[in-house]
Amino acid sequence: MELFKQIWFADPYSAFAVICLIGYFFGMAIVFITNPIKNAESFSVKPVDNAGKTEIRVYYGGISFALGAFLLFLTVSLGTAFYSLVGGLFFATTVFVTRTVFLCVDKGWKCPYTKLAIPAEGFFVIALWTCFILSKTH
């Protein structure tokens, strides 16, 4: 517990952002592992058979868990949340930019999921970059 206090007080902006990132990834893991088909369909993804259901659990659920666990491990092992925040920035910014580019290419702007994903991911990326900038001035 003392280590977490030290991490928080050394850089509260990075620590807050990393807590949010870890919560997001662990939440996504739980959602996709426990109810893969329903949740994948809300993302406009539908498996064609039971192997596809497993792939949703693995790639949306398993990898989300691994990313959250890695950010937690990195934070604890280095004693700072800053590098985990940088990793989260790479991930979130890449996802947002790639989604934006390929929504134009694939003409997916009118899909219901897109109308939620773009503003939510955009806000999340802006919030992470804000935490990064504030951590550099702290």
Burial track 112-122 (b if 16+ CB lie within 10 A, e otherwise): eebeebeeebe
Token couple for 76:
């604890």
In tens digits, what is the pLDDT along the chain, a chain of 138 residues? 899 999 999 999 999 999 999 999 999 999 999 999 999 998 888 999 999 999 999 999 999 999 999 999 999 999 999 999 999 999 999 999 999 999 999 998 888 888 889 999 999 999 999 999 999 987
Token couple for 69:
């666990």
By residue range, what is the domain housing residue 54? 2-137
Count: domains in the chain: 1
Q: Which amino acid is residue 27, in one-letter code?
A: G
Please give the Cα distance from 59 to 41 (Å, whole number).
15
Give the chain's length. Answer: 138
Which single residue is written with the structure tokens 């739980």? 30
Assign 107 to helix, strand or coil: coil
